Amino acid sequence: MLTLSIPIMLTGFVQTAQSLVGAFWMSRLGEQYVLAVGLAMQFMWLGMGFMIACRIGSEIGVSQSMGKRDPKAAEDYARNGLALAFFLGVVLTGITFIFRHQLINIFPAAGNEYALAAAVQYLEIAVFAMPFMFVHFLITGVYGGFGNTRLPFYINVGAIIGNIALTPLFVFGFNMGIRGAAVSLIIVNIANCAIKIWAMTLYNGRPFRKFRVFGKVQWEKIQQIIKWSAPMAIEQVGFTLLFMGVAFIIMSFGTGPGAVQALGIHIESMVFMVASGFSSALIAFAGQNYGAKRWDRLTEARKLAFKMMFVYGIFSAIILFAFAEPLMRMFLEYPEYVGMGVDYLRILAACQVLFCMDGVALAFFRGRGKVVPPMTVILGSGALRVVLAWSLAIGLGFGVTGIWVAKAITMTVRSVTLLVWGWVQWRRELQQRTADVGRAY
């Protein structure tokens, strides 16, 4: 499990470094550009919700097939997942580009006109990275399902370092401003995609001996991937829409609070990306051992994973709380906005331990193909966040601090619900397994 998880966790950490460096360069242009990229990326995330679902659905198919010692079925899931990912990427790119002005103008314009115009400039270029992002994320999932997370890690880190180097070159060296950041994103994702396709088809350490990128579409495999993916797609897209609802409330307070939230999310992602990487590795591990019916390994891995995420959660909470002010001062100049950012990080620090641990529960749900419970909890907590954010910030007059508190409360509710539901379901499965073994004798 550690062999699978460490490269993915390190990738998450390096991705966080990339997003922070990108936020730093945008902050040199002005706070409105930090907000602009944050707004544009919300629509990228909306599309990526389909990609994440497609990746996890394919990863479940690959990992369970390998657990059953059926490499042919694993290869079929990988190839058909790749076709589905590319198709979705092209369709969503077209839709986002055509309606880019209407999408960005959903947000309140009063006091945010410059940020909204810059967001359109970024989105109309960056959106063309999506098909390549869909494909290379899917290939990473296939490697994870196969049990090899090291090669995607090396490729991802190389791409991230390339983006860190190219962004200031295009933004300042070529004087392209925010458009330069979008061009850099496209170049890096094309390179990442090309290298991973090469790795899947020609590299000596490829997961399948004769993998064909283009082949006959097997609709039964596509349907199974969609069956696994549909609840997660609903979850990811629904949560992103609810996230936009919270962003809408924040922007009613002006450009500054919107930029503060965008930066806070970048910094908080130091925790999220590493925990998410660990969860992704656990999905592959759980899928393989669930397919092989290795309940002993699943039980031990579950215990170890909870212990690791508990320790990591404590460490993350301490970092976010203790270094909140210096982290925010790296990006923001106005003391008022720095204070908002410090409040954000310190309030969110309170729920990091449970948040890290709920990733383990999510992984064991999804690795066993049980994707509806996480969807229910995540969407429910997201809807509660919108209602609570409006109630505290506007209804009761607590301002943006009320939004930060609403986020912390709903994250805690989500984590507790997932942990309890996961524990109850896990106990039932073990009892059923014991009863089945007893009947066999």
- For the chain, what are the domain ranges? 2-440
Q: What is the pLDDT of residue 421?
A: 93
**Residue 169 predicted with pLDDT over 80:** yes
Query: What mean pLDDT value characterizes the chain?
Result: 85
Structure letter (DSSP) for residue 394: I
E-only strand ranges, 168-327: none
More confident residue, 325 or 288: 325
Q: Highest mean pLDDT range out of 44-48, 85-89, 233-237?
A: 85-89
Rounded distance between C-alpha atoms, residue 56 and residue 429, angstroms:
22
Tokens 């390179």, located at residue? 191
pLDDT at 384: 96
Q: At 71, which helix (H) or strand (E)?
A: helix 71-98
pLDDT of 326 reads 94
**How confident is the model over 108-117, as a mean pLDDT?**
79
Give the 3-state secondary structure of residue 106.
coil
3-state helix, strand, coil in the chain (%, to 5): 85, 0, 15
What is the per-residue pLDDT for 325?
Answer: 95
Stronger pLDDT, 64 or 167, i.e. the higher one: 167
pLDDT at position 68 is 81
Q: How confident is the model at residue 320 (pLDDT cuts 50, 70, 90)?
A: very high
Higher pLDDT, 41 or 429: 41
DSSP code of residue 129: G
124 pLDDT above the threshold of 90: yes
Give residue 287's pLDDT: 67
346-378: pLDDT as tens digits? 999 999 999 999 888 888 887 777 778 888 999
Token pair, residue 51, equals 């990609």
State both tokens at 335.
């003391």
Reported as a pLDDT band with limits 50, 70 and 90, residue 297 is: confident
Predicted local distance difference test score (pLDDT) of residue 111: 66
Dihedral sign for Cα atoms in the order 404, 9, 331, 40: negative
